[in-house]
Amino acid sequence: MSTHNGVKLPQSHAVYPGSFDPPTNGHLDVIARAAAIFPLVTVAVVVNPQKRSPFFVLDEREEMLRRCTSAYPNVRVDHFRGLLADYINRISADVIVKGLRVVSDFENEMAFAHMNRSLSNVDTTFLMSDSSYSFVSSSLIKEVFLQGGDIAKYVPAVVLECMQQKRLAHGRK
Ligand code: PNS
């Protein structure tokens, strides 16, 4: 706890969860904004993303995030399996951070926020990513990349390099 005029102030530990398969410039924008607000930000990579088999394994997703966030001393990278609410309780975090790109994101996120608060009494704060990232998502990035499109504008250089290496490892052009 820090103090202001003798009043104890909470130090918030924020958790920014996601699949990060792969991390995009939109994710990095949200991380930078969260790091400027919260004393500690844990970027929490879900072990098994729902709905799909990941392009990158967990270690790769974590390593890319570590390299991309090394400039932020108050950002750490971790992973979790199972419910986010249980992970939040386990590490005694105070708040969840989610990024919003467009209004439809909020419609989905509202139910998640209510469920997480109901499960763990933790609130969710929403940070709007820069509007230039409003159409950037990991799934779209993968689709464009796998069809030979140029994704250099949408992901950090570290991520682009890892994607190119993965394509080479799979014997694709
Ligand atoms: O980057 P994504 O895939 O949009 O991230 C989704 C994520 C990981 C934040 C969400 O699927 C999640 O919280 N998964 C953990 C399981 C869980 O707690 N489900 C209930 C959510 S209310």
At residue 140, the pLDDT reads: 97
- Please give the average per-residue pLDDT across 137-158, as a whole number: 96
| Å from CA of 106 to ligand 1 middle | 14
Q: What percent of the chain has pLDDT over 70?
A: 94
Q: What is the mean pLDDT of residues 27-34?
A: 98
pLDDT higher than 70, residue 105: yes
From 24, 42, 83, mutation site for ligand 1 pocket: most ligand atoms within 8 A of C-beta: 83
pLDDT for residue 50: 76
- Ligand 1 pocket test target in 46, 121, 136 with most atoms within 8 Å of CB: 46
81 a catalytic residue: no
- Tell me if residue 27 is catalytic: yes
Residue 8 has pLDDT above 70, yes or no: no
Q: Is 54 in the pocket of ligand 1 (CB under 6 A)?
A: no
Specify the pLDDT at position 89. 96
Residue 51's pLDDT is: 60
Q: How confident is the model at residue 10 (pLDDT cuts 50, 70, 90)?
A: confident
What spacing in Å lies between the alpha carbon of 18 and ligand 1's midpoint?
Answer: 6
> Backbone phi, then psi, for 43, in 5-degree steps?
-85, 115
Q: Which residues of 40-73 are buried (b: 16+ CB within 10 A; e: fewer)?
A: bbbbbbbeebeeeebbbebebbbebbebbbeebe
Q: What is residue 172's predicted lDDT score, i.e. its pLDDT?
A: 56
Global pTM reads 0.94
Give yes or no for residue 87 having a pLDDT over 80.
yes
Burial of 172 (0-12, 13-18, 19+ CB in 10 A): exposed
98, 101, 120, 142: which one is catalytic? 101
The verdict on whether 101 is a catalytic residue reads: yes
| Residue 122, pLDDT above cutoff 90 | yes
CB 117 within 8 A of CB 88: no
Q: Which band of pLDDT confidence, cut at 50, 70 and 90, is reported for residue 90?
A: very high
How much is the pLDDT for 171?
A: 66
